[in-house]
Amino acid sequence: MKFFKYIPAAFILVIISSCKPKPKAVNIPVVGFVDALEDATLTQARTGFTDALKKDGFSEEKKTVQIEYRNAQGNIPTLTQITNYFISEKVDLLATCTTLATVTALQNTKTIPDFAMVSPVPERMKVLDASGKAPANLFGALEELNYIDTAFSIIPKLLKPKGARLVVGMIYNQSEPQSTDAFNRIKSLAEKQHVTIVALPVNTSADAQLVTQSLLSKNIDAFFANPDNTVFASFETILKSCNEKNVPIFTSEAGLVQRGAVAAFGADIYQWGYQAGVQAARYLKTHKTDGLKWEMVKVRKRVYNPAAAKKYHITIPSNFEAVK
């Protein structure tokens, strides 16, 4: 996932200098946690990761681990600087949240284990070597796109079209491999389900409002929020625009339902981070990767937002869980 927002160099220095590291602890492991951007949904993954560490005895409160956290705020040069800083400090492991953070880590180190979350499988991150193998230092929990079929198929089951055919709108970042892969998959699926897709490209969250409003002018029945950093970062803006035009949002990201989407089938973001944290804790106990390998995210949920469902008079099936 890429998220371009170039910040002046002076401001980058402010970001780095304002996050001065804690004095490196003696005889306890150090984790370098890299977030690509600030986002309420992604915060759940970080919480899950640290909770898993705590459960296995690695807690900052008990001084059994030191977690250095950095957030690139969507800025690529800053993300690279953060990653290289952690590498130079020889942290015991890296924890990376979202595709761009994971790819940046894998491009810059082949030796420090990287426990990834909220990232797709190696093939979709385009990090396979010439022989088709994933980086040897890649671990954590990753996701394939198959679940999007189920997530998208919710829409024609719950929503009646205004016209002869259901029209679903979406925006996607052409610079994000996962986003474009998801768009192509959805477009193919929509044809089979006799659903019309209207999609517009967006490059940054700063453009999201204008692009969303343009999309809404095309008389869409619903908006589909796909796995895309730009969508994550600008979701409240998208939600406001859709609500003003009475267009419900469906999504493949369970975390976005808490923020106002109607319903989703997708990974539980907290559990995604927790799953990566379980692996990381196992590594910290032995400092060996024997028996460890990246794995598919395990916990997916069917969830809905009661307030959003009520607003749009949508009846939700009983196998969906209401978000709190």
State pLDDT tens for residues 237-259: 999 999 999 999 999 988 899 99
Residue 269, token pair as written in the block:
């973001």
For the chain, what is the domain count? 2
The reply to whether 107 and 222 lie within a common domain is no
| Residue 74, pLDDT score | 86
Whether residue 168 is contained in a domain is answered as yes
* 252: helix, strand or coil: coil
Integer Cα distance of 285 and 306 in angstroms: 42
Q: Are 30 and 91 in contact (CB under 8 A)?
A: yes
The reply to whether 229 and 206 lie within a common domain is yes
Q: Are 98 and 227 in contact (CB under 8 A)?
A: no
Whether the per-residue pLDDT at 236 is higher than 70: the answer is yes
Q: What percent of the chain has pLDDT above 70?
A: 92
The reply to whether 207 and 318 lie within a common domain is yes
| Residue 202, pLDDT score | 93
The DSSP call for residue 26 is S
Q: Which domain holds residue 100?
A: 9-144+268-299
Q: What percent of the chain has pLDDT above 90?
A: 77
State pLDDT tens for residues 46-70: 999 999 999 999 999 999 999 999 9
Please report, in angstroms and rounded to a whole number, the separation of the first and last CA atoms in the chain: 28
The reply to whether 287 and 317 lie within a common domain is no
| Residue 180, pLDDT score | 87
The reply to whether 225 and 120 lie within a common domain is no
**Long-range contact set of residues 14-17: C-beta below 8 Å, sequence gap at least 24:** 15/73, 15/75, 15/78, 16/78, 16/81, 16/82, 16/85
- Split at pLDDT 50, 70, 90, the class of 27 is confident
